[in-house]
Every structure is written in C-alpha cells, then in structure tokens.
Amino acid sequence: MIQLEEIAEFLNRFFDVDRFPQEERGGVYLPSSRPVKRLGLALEPWTQLPEWAKARNFDALFLHRPWKLEEGQLASDVGVISYHLAFDERLTISFNPRLAEVLGMSCLEVLGEKDGRAIGMIGEIPTSLFASLCRCVHQIFGGNEQVHAENCTEVTRIAVVGAMTDALVREAAHRGANLYITGQLRQPAVQAMQETNMAVIAVGHRRSEVWGLRSLVGILRERWSELDIIIYNTH
C-alpha cells in the first residue's frame, strides 16, 4: 500500500526541497492515513473540485497552489500534497532537464540565479528553422502567448528562463543564444531583445505549469507502476 507520506518523501527528494526556505518546501498539506491507490493532479482548487474528487474516487490530491482550498471541500480522509516554488523551478520554464530533452537541448549550462538557485538554462540544439522550432514549442505547451523573431531564421542555441530581464536577455545573447523561451514577455527586456536581435517565445505561465503537471504524472508512474493518476483537464 502507498501512503501519502511516502509520496511526499519521494517528491521532497525529487524537488530537492532543502534548497528552499522552510515555508517554501511544500509536502503534505492535508495529512491522511488512507492508502493512496488513485491520485488526482490539479493546479489549484476550483468550484467543482469536490464533485471531481468524489466522482473519480481519489484517495489523495496534488495541488500546485492549494491556498484557496476550503475546509470541508474534500472528504475528511482525502489527503493533499502540494509543492509551489519547488515545482515551478524544477518542472516549468527553468533549469529543467526533462524539458531540455524534449526540446533537443544539450550541453546545458545555468543561466540566471535567484537566492543561489538556477532559474534558467542555456544549451545547444541541432540547427533548426525558427518556424519549425516555433511549431515544436507550440505542440509541447499547447500554444503560446507571444512570438517575436524579426531577424531570426535559424536557431542553434536556446535559453529557457523563468524570468525575463534586460540583463538576462543580454547575457543569453552574449553566450550565443538566439532564442529565448520564457513564460511572460516583460516590457523592460524589449530594448535588449531589439538590440541583440533575440527571438522570443513566451508560452504563458499557466501553460508551463500544465506541462509540469503532465511531466509529474510520468515521474510518479515511473516510481509506482500501480498508482492510478488522473490529471485535471485544465484547457
């Protein structure tokens, strides 16, 4: 039988939560001794969460942002685990080796840090037409919010960063990147984009979180073959 604490211990190691302040480490949000055979994954609570959980007969839930979960929304023996910052920094637009593999990136290096932790990566890819790579990113994340590529036809090196500042764009360009993938395009970085001819794809923060949830399904199934996992359709 799989216990909630066992799943949390595994994810604590996977997310390397000791790197974070105590209040940001995540883990068990609502404890439960109920064995976990069926686990539901969602970004956050919503109005129909109780109906979804009951209809799917979940033993426990993973919630990325659990704070709006109201008392009594779930059956008393349904446990909840939650990881916020650690999830964002490991499984979204960040230093994310799983995403790098999907993008075909190699020779990964850190690009950007916050509190001593990497918030982005830069790496080589096989020379690709920008249009083809843009389609690839669209397929990976199910869409994008903004695309800027005034003078970019081929891409050989990509930066994937969970922030967008003037300094980060210039550093990416200085280190040979000609495409910057991020969550949100930030106005203070526009001048750096123009002056460095940096192409940018902003996929949207929520899309990157959904990708992270889908990736988490695979991670948990690799560890527990018998665990039944269902992700809430957020689209």
Q: Are residues 103 and 75 in the same domain?
A: no
Cβ neighbour number for residue 184 with a 10 Å cutoff: 15
3-state secondary structure 2-55: CCHHHHHHHHHHHHCHHHCCHHHCCEEEECCCCCCCEEEEECCCCCCHHHHHHH
**Residue 148 domain boundaries:** 94-202
Q: What is the DSSP letter of 59?
A: S
Mean pLDDT of the chain: 94
Tell me the pLDDT band of 149, cut-offs 50, 70 and 90.
Answer: confident
* Judgement on whether residues 128 and 66 belong to the same structural domain of the protein: no
- How many CA atoms lie less than 13 Å away from 201 in the CB half-sphere? 28
Tell me the two tokens of residue 60. 């426990």
pLDDT-derived band at 187, boundaries 50, 70, 90? confident
Residues 60 and 120 placed together within one structural domain of the fold: no
The answer on pLDDT for 235 being more than 60 is no
Longest dimension (CA), the chain: 58
83 and 101 housed in the same domain? no
Burial (0-12, 13-18, 19+ Cβ within 10 Å), 61: buried
Q: How many domains does the chain have?
A: 2
Same domain, 193 and 222: no
Q: Would you state the pLDDT for residue 200?
A: 95
Query: Model confidence over 120-142: pLDDT tens digits?
Result: 999 999 999 999 999 999 999 99
Q: Examine the domain organization and report whether 175 and 214 are in the same domain.
A: no
pLDDT of the residue at 215: 96
pLDDT tens per residue, range 193-210: 999 999 999 999 999 999
Residues of the chain with pLDDT > 70, as a percent, come to 99
pLDDT at 234: 60
- Same domain? For 105 and 181 the reply is yes
Interatomic CA distance for residues 36 and 147, integer angstroms? 42
Residue 189 amino acid letter: A
**183 and 105 both lie in a single domain:** yes
pLDDT score for 152: 77
- Buried b / exposed e across 142-178, counting CB within 10 Å, b at 16+? eebbeeebeebeebebbbbbbbbeeebbbbbbeeebb
Q: Looking at the structure, do residues 155 and 172 belong to the same domain, yes or no?
A: yes
**Residue 25 CB burial class (10 angstroms; 0-12, 13-18, ≥19):** middle
How do 120-129 and 117-118 pair as beta strands?
A: unpaired
195 in the same domain as 109: yes
Residue 170: C-alpha distances to residues 151, 155, 163, 191 (Å): 16, 17, 13, 10
pLDDT in tens, 22-69: 999 999 999 999 999 999 999 999 999 999 999 999 999 999 999 999
For the chain, the distance separating the N- and C-terminal CA atoms, rounded to the nearest angstrom, is 32
CATH number reported for the structural domain that contains residue 49 in this entry? 3.40.1390.30
**Does 59 share its domain with 115?**
no
Q: Do residues 156 and 216 share a domain? A: no
Per-residue pLDDT at 153: 84
